[in-house]
Structure 1
Amino acid sequence: MINPSNKVVMLLTFLVVVSLWFPSTLAREVSRPNDLILSKMYVSITNTLEDKSDFTIHCKSGDDDLGVHVIKAGGKYEWSFKVNFWGTTLYFCGVTTKHGSGIYDLYDASRDNTGKNGNVIWEVKQKGVSCLTRDAFYDWKPKE
């Protein structure tokens, strides 16, 4: 007959083994090819305005408000995060320059989960924002 204290030790050992094994296995099973679910991602946006002016950026997700930041000429704003378990992480940012402004999804897990080495790289230009990772460009919204 097994001693009750040995049963507790065996149960705790089993739970530790399962807790260490299960997350990595679960992530592997639910991920699609090239997914970076549960991986650390990095987003950067660089001021490449030709007239050397500043821009303002305010980024948010459903869980985080990253605050308002003024980015000087040649400067960069960047942040990192882990993609949520469901692969639905979204960061949207309001970008304002003297040339125009707009609100853009700078990270959308359904679109950017194949980022180069977990990086999504943006530039602010005089005519709009450019994603170097996906070779995409978005014009400023017209000033009203």
Structure 2
Amino acid sequence: MNNLSIFLCVVFCMISHVYGDIRIANELKFNKYLWISCFSGDDRMEPVIKKPGEHHRIYFRTNFWGTTRFMCTLRQGPNYRHSQSFTAFKQVSPSDRGTLWDWRARENGIYLKVWEDEFSQGETNMHKAFDWIY
């Protein structure tokens, strides 16, 4: 009975494993570059700089306990004085399905849409989440 319980637990963990996905797009005007730096409790990404029209994608596995968080800092060029730090991904529970957190850096702030699945379309529910800090 004990071996069966362990086997079922392992199978359940493998089946229920969830992946996270963050996309950060540079939609700034006037040829401004976007500096991006992100980290979680387990990972620290090297900072990247994206030109207007480019995006940065981060794929990762969430943890078993459903507490995965990714923090990001964005800075807009050319002098990178305007910035914002925020939680770019937050897993609510272990049963939380993998979704895309789609961030857009624009002149008047940072926008977010959380895609429920890969078939979601348009900018429905895209909303301004943060203002730039000057």
Band the TM-score falls in, shorter-chain normalisation: 0.7 to 0.9
Q: Determine which structure has the larger helix proportion and give its number.
A: 1
Verify the 8 A CA contact 1:52 1:74 in the aligned structure 2. no
Structure 1 unmatched ranges of 5 or more: 1-13, 29-36
Q: Secondary structure at the match of 1:132?
A: strand
Quickly say closer, same or farther: Cα 1:51–1:24, change in 2 above 3 A.
farther
Residue of structure 2 in register with 1:67 after alignment: 46
Aligned CA RMSD, in angstroms, stands at 2.9
Is residue 131 from structure 1 mapped to residue 121 from structure 2 by the alignment?
no
Is 1:102 the counterpart of 2:84? The answer is yes
In 2, Cα distance between the equivalents of 1:19 and 1:114? 23
Matches of 2:34 and 2:49, distance apart in 1: 6
* Post-superposition CA distance 1:85-123 (Å, at most 9, x none): 111111001110147201011101129x867x6211110
Please state which structure has a larger fraction of its residues in strand. Answer: 2
For residues 41-60 of structure 1, the C-alpha deviation after alignment (integer angstroms, 9 at most, x for no partner) is 21101111122311101100
Change (3 A) 1:20 1:79: farther
Q: TM-score, normalised by structure 1?
A: 0.69
What TM-score do the two structures reach when normalised by structure 2? 0.74
Residue type of the partner of 2:17? L
Corresponding residue number in structure 2 for 1:140: 132
Q: Secondary structure at the residue paired with 1:25? A: helix
Q: Partner amino acid for 2:91?
A: A
Length, aligned pairs only: 119
Larger radius of gyration: 1
Gaps of 5+ in 2: 115-124
**1:22 has 2:9 as partner:** yes
Q: 1:59-82 deviations in whole A, cap 9, x for unaligned?
A: 000110011100111001011111
Percent of aligned pairs sharing the same letter: 20
